[in-house]
Amino acid sequence: MNILDLQTIKDHLDEVDVLNAVEKNFVEYSNGNANVPPVGHLVLPDGDCHIKYGHINGDPFFVIKVASGFHNNTQKGLNASTGLMLLCSAETGAPVALLQDEGHLTDIRTAVAGAVAGKYLAVADADSIGIVGAGVQAELQLRWASRVSACQRALVWNRTSARAHELREKFAATDIDVTVVQDIEELVARSRHIITTTPSTSPLIFSEWVQPGTHITAVGADCPGKQELDATLVQRADVLVVDSVSQCVGQGEVQSALAQGLIAETDLVELGHVIGGETGGRSNDKQISIADLTGVAVQDIAIARSVYDTWHTSNAGMS
């Protein structure tokens, strides 16, 4: 079995068209061409662990991913997230490669999914991208959103203002103009493209704050009990897109609105169908759209397979 450490993975990641690979696999998933069992979810005193695994029909490999999130790790000088991905032969079951990515590939593929959602759902003339949160995912979401959006201005809000300023400094040498705001309501009022990235278990954004034409990508609610958006805002949305209906109904941003009977499962549209054109997304610039992203194993397959193929090709050329 080949073992790829984090630096090796990073060395080859720049050579990979991750966005296209993730888009393609979302379409495969929504078209029923993927075998993705329910997520394994382990709740621990200070964090949680997700086990996601799956296979795209016809692919030579299947992928098993373990990803953990321990938000108190930052106080210990450690990354909040970690993990690994195991690439196995779909013919024999034998492990082919262990990608010791320490959670990096999960972070990247999550940000890429956010960029995909924004690409298909956000209005083209947004004045600023609002980022709720200031952790690793907030940074990556903004970096990837700026690749697919003409908007290069961002507003950032975080419960701890100092961390928001730290995030702003990370973009000081880039073309992205980042401003820290003290009031989340101000961020919402000034942004028509908003990305939420926190582990909140109670609403941070309320319906009455949101202007027509706003798109929100919510990535924080990835297990039961988490919630970043007011349920009445979810009900108000004209377009409700999810990465996976089966996952989101129990652990996504839409779970609260569904439990309260404010929306029905039939109101949800999968992102893969929007990408593939089977179902329309936004039809005008006055609609409110929400993308609820819980993370699907097909994203892990896309990024793990892409990195491995690039690494394998480069090593074959050296032999």
- In order of 35, 36, 56, 305, the CA distances from 53 in angstroms are 9, 6, 11, 13
Q: What are residue 163's DSSP bridge partners?
A: none
Q: What are residue 34's DSSP bridge partners?
A: 56
170 is annotated as an active-site residue? no
List 10, 24, 52, 65, catalytic entry: 65
Contacts of 52 (CB under 8 A, 6+ apart): 36, 39, 40, 64, 65, 67, 295, 296, 297, 300
Measured distance CA(12)–CA(311) in Å, rounded: 6
Reported for 307-312, long-range contacts at CB under 8 A and 24+ positions apart, including other chains, are: 307/4, 307/9, 307/12, 307/13, 307/16, 307/99, 307/105, 308/2, 308/4, 308/61, 308/87, 308/96, 308/97, 308/99, 310/12, 310/15, 310/16, 311/2, 311/4, 311/8, 311/9, 311/12, 312/2
Are 304 and 67 spatial neighbours (Cβ–Cβ below 8 Å)? no
Measured distance CA(50)–CA(222) in Å, rounded: 9
Q: What is the DSSP string of 195-256?
A: EE----EEEEE-GGGPPTT-EEEE-S--STT-EEE-HHHHHH-SEEEES-HHHHHHHSTTHH
**Catalytic residue positions, numbered:** 65
